[in-house]
Structure 1
Amino acid sequence: MRADIVMLHGGSHSQLATLDDPALAPYRIRPLHIRTADCEDLRDADVVVVSDRLRPDLLARWHEPILDRLERGATVLVFGENSVGEWIPGITEQRRPTVFWWWRTGEDHRLRLRNPTHPAREFLTDRALIWHYHGVLSLPSGAVSLVDLETPEGGQDGSVLLVDEARGGRLLVTTMDPVYHHGSGFMPGATQLLYSTLYWATR
């Protein structure tokens, strides 16, 4: 049976370009504009994708419906810069400077892969998980980090991508912003992360 996938978006160029990507057509994603769509449109969704960089004031009315779908067994993907620390219980978020071009400058990106045997890692290549970030997340009880950020001194700063399967459904949260970069046409790792998380979410 085909999964019912919805994507919350705000109509930005990158979000519309992502929704128009022919490679995603087989998923038959239903786009929901956060300003004009009805929260009832989430009722039967198997997968909820929260695009990165949505306006917090417009996203606010969707918080409860998204968490309700999660509790009822849906898979929820929340991409970067969506103030998750303010509305997903158990998660705190702290911003961090973005290291954009570490592969050119030779700077240490300080991203470290974790939990290589976690089932989600079968779908996520190293390139999909290591490109950049906009902050760090605390781990709620029962969650697993797949990517951590180290401090410059070598300590653990926080998670950049976590998976939480203790809320009824499956929750993936990351401070990376794959929809923006995929739709904008730069950072190949962003495209891999977007494609891979959608594939994981529908399995």
Structure 2
Amino acid sequence: MSVLYLHSTYEEPAQAVRDAATRGEVSIVRQNELTPGILLAHKGLITGNQLDQNTMMTMRDTLTAFLDAGGRWFFNGHMVRPLIDGLSQYRPICQPKRADLDLISVNRHPLFDGIDLEKLETNKGVAGFYGRGCNPPPPGAVVINGLGSTHVPVDWVWSRPEGGRVFSHSGNDLGSMGREWGLSPQLARRIIDWAGGGTCLSTPVFAAKASQAETKLAPAETYSGMKSSRSRKRRLIAPSSGTYYHIHSLESPRYEDTFDVVCAPEMLADELRPSDALWVPCRTPAHRMIEQRDVVLRHLEAGGTVVALGESRSDLWMPGIEFTSVPTNWWWWLEPGADLGVSIIAPDHALLAGMGRKDLAWHLHGWFRPPEGAHVLATDREDRAILYEDTVTTPGRMIVSSLDPFFHHGSHFMPATTRFLDRFIPNLKDYLNA
């Protein structure tokens, strides 16, 4: 038996994971191919922050049995669907200041031996990638690392009374941290070693987690779940990939009334009507929509509307899109004379009503070459399109952007993205219903 790496992303796993697979230490399995038998045949499980938690909920009993048999689970990300008994919903730090994101060792763990936590705390000088809150540790869990003076438990290990262990890292994938220092491969190898049964804790004497951590955390939210509507009016439909950021963005009280239908991408063929508007949220794992390419094309050919936001590779599942990715500069605001260079080209367009260039400025992932006749709404510093409307490629309407607000709003990271959605959502609904 080896460690199971559950592959939920469109992109390939990190090189360190692929190397481990070559050595026979890891089995890489696509999440849609996971069966109870496959999980129970392994002794370790690693899941990333694009885990489809909706689908994983259907394997709750199997996951429990895997742990009861002594399995180890390394969980990256925000736990928004408690997947086994004893786990609780992720809670962010409420309005964090920079000092609230300081990374502090609480109990030593071999995974971090010899690693300077300051090299994990920031990414190009920007804090928050490592974590901005916690998956609340269950009774008996040992806090490894905390955030800020109250040691908000961003990393913890739980030896379950029923058997098995869970390591929770409530931030971006731990195996991607410390990249600028070359630490990511080392962390990935250590995660694999831990999941495979490696040494778990460095000392039998543990410090208690700070009792003040609770005072820093926002309350847990209520998520409404998937939903449908039989309304004959134009509906706004969002495919959710079950990632924590989709669940938080599409189901939490702030925006849940925006969408008439929230369903898995695989259900779109049963839901879409020509009068509907399909809004594919950013960072939808691209393979989920590539499989729905014919559904999307039929919708556009029937005169429907599709809104496609960034980091979902819309160029692979929508017609006529030419996209060029660029290296992401997320530290631009720390540079002298900071200006991301975003410009609003069509300030009078209804989609941008009441919005200024700062509402579109957090960072950029790439640009488009729109077809002749498309309406460019916003550009980057080189006057290349980052948001445009296309009513010429198909009989329908495509609203396309490389911006990724749902991911960051759903990650409780970068307030500008929430400000963007607060304005863009009502603008879009008014525009579609005009």
> What TM-score range do you get, normalising by the shorter chain?
0.7 to 0.9
Where structure 2 has 5 or more consecutive residues not aligned to the other structure, the ranges are 1-231
> 1:195 is matched with which residue?
422
Q: 1:65 aligns with which of 288, 291, 295?
A: 295
Where structure 1 has 5 or more consecutive residues not aligned to the other structure, the ranges are none
Which one has the largest radius of gyration? 2
Identity of aligned residues (%): 27
Task: Describe the shift of the 1:59–1:87 C-alpha distance in structure 2 as closer, same or farther (beyond 3 A).
Answer: closer
Q: Does 2:408 correspond to 1:181?
A: yes
Find the aligned partners of 2:359 and 2:233 in 1 and give their Cα distance.
25
Q: 2:317 aligns with which of 87, 91, 96?
A: 87
Aligned partners of 2:289 and 2:317 also within 8 Å: no
Find the aligned partners of 1:196 and 1:52 in 2 and give their Cα distance.
17
* Structure-1-length-normalised TM-score: 0.84
Q: Does 2:387 correspond to 1:161?
A: yes
Q: CA deviation at 1:181?
A: 0.5
Q: Does 2:357 correspond to 1:131?
A: no
SS in 2 for 1:193: helix
Q: 2:398 aligns with which of 159, 162, 171?
A: 171
Q: Deviations over 1:41-70 (max 9, x none)?
A: 113562211011222222112222223323
Q: 1:26 aligns with which of 254, 257, 270?
A: 257
Which has the higher relative contact order, 1 or 2, with Cα contacts under 8 A spaced 6 or more apart? 1
Quote the RMSD (CA, aligned, Å). Answer: 2.3
Structure 1 consecutive aligned stretches of length 4 or more whose deviation exceeds 4 Å: none
Find the aligned partners of 2:373 and 2:301 in 1 and give their Cα distance.
14
Aligned partners of 1:4 and 1:44 also within 8 Å: no
Aligned partners of 1:47 and 1:202 also within 8 Å: no
Q: 1:143 aligns with which of 370, 374, 383?
A: 374
Q: 1:104 aligns with which of 320, 331, 334?
A: 334
Q: Deviations over 1:135-189 (max 9, x none)?
A: 11111122122221224xxxx4x21111123343432111111110111112222
Aligned partners of 1:19 and 1:29 also within 8 Å: no
